[in-house]
Structure 1
Amino acid sequence: MKKVLIPVTNHATLGETDQANGTYSPELTHVVHVLKENGIDYDIASIKGGKAPLYGTDIEGDEVNSQVLADEDFQNRVNNTIPVNQLNTASYDAVFYPGGFGLLSDLASNEDFAKLSAEHYENGGVLAAVCHGPAGLLPITLSNGESLLATKSVTAFTREEEIDFGTIEDIPFLLEEAISRKSARFNKVQPWQEFVIEDGRVITGQNPASAHAVGKAIVKQLIN
């Protein structure tokens, strides 16, 4: 059975503020839903392990989000994430970073996950991320000393979307700028539209509306 590793943040607030945050639930649940529909298993991991902070769990009208959140097995995995020091990348076929602002404060600079993801990618694995998730790709350095992003065309949550969302003043750093400085090409469409870029085995989605399509792109790479 194919299996996807999902690193999530341990950081429970928006930057240094006291606003509750973490991983944005729909970006996790929509991808998990697509994986399960296609018979693909997953593990949820974090730097420290333990319970992962989620927000966006009470969005009205998102049936997929509500359905996955109501699943006991899913809750068990979110509440007992695997610490990074217990992971073996050989067990996985893809690594998927969901978004939410939390990871700007930990996964965006974490060397442990960066090393695992680099090893996974160089062994033929798929790397995927959505919204703020591509922040997890920033610290990934390949064995030739180059940044993973240096040759990649990618997308991520945009400056316009940060402004619309009212978070531009509180984020630890502007993701679009950080990714633009490191990647071969940064791509974006109008705010809040579904948009996914596949560059070889690196899949990125711009915003929450792109989560489902990122899930489908992961499945396509793993099953074909």
Structure 2
Amino acid sequence: MKKVLIPVTNHATLGDTNQANGTYAPELTHVIHELNVAGVDYDIASINGGKAPLYGTDIAGDDVNNTIIADEGFQSRINNTIPVQQLNVDNYQAIFYPGGFGLLTDLAKNEDFAHLSAKHYEEGGVLAAVCHGPAALLPITLSSGKPLLAGISVTGFTREEEIDFGTINDIPFLLEEALARKAARYSKVQPWGNFIIEDKNVITGQNPSSAHAVGQALVKKLT
């Protein structure tokens, strides 16, 4: 059975504020839904392991989110994430980074996951990320010494969306700017529109409404 590694943040607040945060649940659950439908397994990991912080777990009318959140298998994985030091990346065919603001504080600069992702990518694996998830691609350096993003077109959460969401003054850094400076090309559509980019073996989605399409694109790569 194909298997996807899902690294999530351990950081439970928005930047240095006391606002509860972590991984934004719908960006995780909508992709997991697609994996489940396709019969693709997954593990959830984090830098430190253990219970990972989630927010957006009770969104009215989001049946996919509610169903996955209520699933015992999912709860077991999210409450007992695998520490990065215990991972063997050779066991996975893809790595998926869901968004949420938490990872701007840890995964966006974590060298352990960056090394695993570089090895995985150079051996033909797929990398996927949505919303703020592409921040985890920033520290990935290939064996050539070049940043992964230097040769890749990507999207990610936009400045306009940060303003709309009321987070522009609290985020550790502006993801759009960081991606635009490092990636071969950064592209976006109107705020909150469904938009994904596939370039080589990298799939990125702009915002929460793009998670479903990222999941579908990921499954298509694996099946």
Q: Scaled by the length of structure 1, what TM-score is found?
A: 0.99
What residue number does 1:23 align with? 23
CA distance in 2, matches of 1:210, 1:85: 30
What residue number does 1:103 align with? 103
CA shift at 1:30, angstroms? 0.3
| 1:39-188 superposed matches below 5 A | 39-188=39-188
CA shift at 1:4, angstroms? 0.2
Q: What does the per-residue CA deviation read over 1:165-212, in whole Å, with 9 as the maximum and x for residues that have no partner?
A: 000000000000001000000000000000000001000000000000
CA distance in 2, matches of 1:166, 1:93: 36
CA shift at 1:48, angstroms? 0.1
Tell me the number of residue pairs that the alignment of Structure 1 and Structure 2 aligns: 223
- Describe the SS at the equivalent of 2:144: coil
Amino acid in structure 1 at the alignment position of 2:214: V
CA distance in 2, matches of 1:58, 1:35: 21
Q: What does the per-residue CA deviation read over 1:96-153, in whole Å, with 9 as the maximum and x for residues that have no partner?
A: 0000000000000000000000000000000000000000000000000000000100
Query: What is the RMSD computed on CA atoms of the aligned residues?
Result: 0.3
CA distance in 2, matches of 1:59, 1:52: 19
CA shift at 1:58, angstroms? 1.1
CA distance in 2, matches of 1:65, 1:26: 6
What residue number does 1:5 align with? 5
Amino acid in structure 1 at the alignment position of 2:57: T
CA distance in 2, matches of 1:25, 1:94: 19
CA distance in 1, matches of 2:44, 2:198: 23
What are structure 2's unaligned runs of at least 5 residues? none
Percent of pairs identical after alignment?
A: 76
Q: List structure 1 runs of 4+ shifted beyond 4 angstroms.
A: none
CA shift at 1:49, angstroms? 0.1
CA shift at 1:12, angstroms? 0.1
What residue number does 2:206 align with? 206
CA distance in 2, matches of 1:152, 1:118: 13
